[in-house]
Amino acid sequence: MSEFRVRTMADMMAAGEETEILFWVGCAGSFDERAQKITKAVAKILHAAGIKFAILGTEEACTGDPAKRAGNEFLFQMMAMQNIETLNAYGIKKIVTACPHCFNTLKNEYPSLGGEYEVLHHTTLINQLLSQGKISIQGGAFAGQRITYHDSCYLGRANNIYEAPREIIEKLDGALVEMKRSKANGLCCGAGGAQMFKEAEEGTKEVNIERADDMLEANPNVVAAACPFCMTMLRDGIKHHNKEAEIEVKDIAELVATAMDL
């Protein structure tokens, strides 16, 4: 990040500065090359909004979500308790994350293990910042573009967040077009439930290719995602159909950062 320095909680603590919000980056956002771009877009937006935020840096560990969904409750609770110890030590009150899986776990599954925080997904926070005028989108970077939104299962069905991402897209000046299966009826990208980390079971088709068919049918210029795992699956699906030149897959945060000229 050449424009500004992203600071860690340890930095903030050492400098004796207050942090408004912790940016929980997540494993995909930290290590996956494509997802890192989403992470940077979120950081730029937070910076542009003048929010004092920090990351945990090397003190962050996986929330344990894939272990939990794969049935390894021991490993999940070990990860969770370590993270909760770190978060509580810093007195974290509010967290934003760009990963719906981290979001769901932090929000729903940490409280009964002793980790109670206000947890926001980045689409909710960005939508709030836009509504409050703390950030604004100028120009028509997406004017005339058809944008379709792929619901992440862990935002949508799991947590009933359907509108925030759509409201942001509406503000982008493009045309929001829905796929035939959307919102509560949205089709999974194929990554959840630890499927990301294994081969698919024997069948006739990959789930992400089935989803790519839905995307092509909607005939968009841009597919908007809100999850780094969906990002991987959707891009692979588009590539499978050799459409990567025509259809871009972008995270909502990246679309906003582009529209803000960040």
Question: Please, which of residues 221-260 interact with other proteins by CB under 8 A?
Answer: none
Q: Report the chain's C-alpha Rg in angstroms.
A: 18
- By rule CB under 8 A, what count of residues binds other proteins? 71
d(CA 31, CA 14): 26
Other C-beta atoms within 10 Å of 62: how many?
20
Interface with other proteins (CB under 8 A), residue from 30, 86, 221, 258: 30
Q: Which stretch binds other proteins (CB under 8 A): 45-53, 109-117, 135-143, 235-243?
A: 109-117
Other C-beta atoms within 10 Å of 112: how many?
9
Interface with other proteins (CB under 8 A), residue from 13, 141, 158, 262: 158
Q: Which stretch binds other proteins (CB under 8 A): 12-20, 21-29, 127-135, 245-253?
A: 21-29
d(CA 18, CA 128): 21
Strands (E), 191-257: 222-225, 248-251
User: How many angstroms separate the first and last alpha carbons of the chain?
Assistant: 12
Q: Are the C-beta atoms of residues 217 and 180 closer than 8 Å to each other? A: yes
Interface with other proteins (CB under 8 A), residue from 3, 17, 20, 31: 31
Binding of residue 18 to other proteins (CB under 8 A): no
Binding of residue 94 to other proteins (CB under 8 A): no
- 159-198 positions binding other proteins, by CB under 8 A: 159-160, 184-185, 187-188, 190-198
Interface with other proteins (CB under 8 A), residue from 133, 144, 201, 242: 201
**Contact characters 53-92, other proteins, x per CB under 8 A:** --x-xx-xxx-x-xxxxxxxxxx-xxx-xx----------
Tell the smallest beta-carbon distance from residue 136 to other proteins (Å).
Answer: 26
User: Nearest 5°: phi and psi at 147?
Assistant: -120, 125
Q: Are the C-beta atoms of residues 235 and 32 closer than 8 Å to each other? A: no
Q: Are the C-beta atoms of residues 261 and 144 closer than 8 Å to each other? A: no
Binding of residue 214 to other proteins (CB under 8 A): no
- Of the pair 18, 202, the CB lying nearest other proteins is at 202
- Of the pair 162, 175, the CB lying nearest other proteins is at 162
Tell the smallest beta-carbon distance from residue 52 to other proteins (Å).
Answer: 16
Q: Are the C-beta atoms of residues 156 and 183 closer than 8 Å to each other? A: yes
H helices, E strands: number in the chain: 12, 8
Q: Which stretch binds other proteins (CB under 8 A): 24-32, 89-97, 129-137, 245-253?
A: 24-32
How is residue 127 written in tokens? Answer: 């939508």
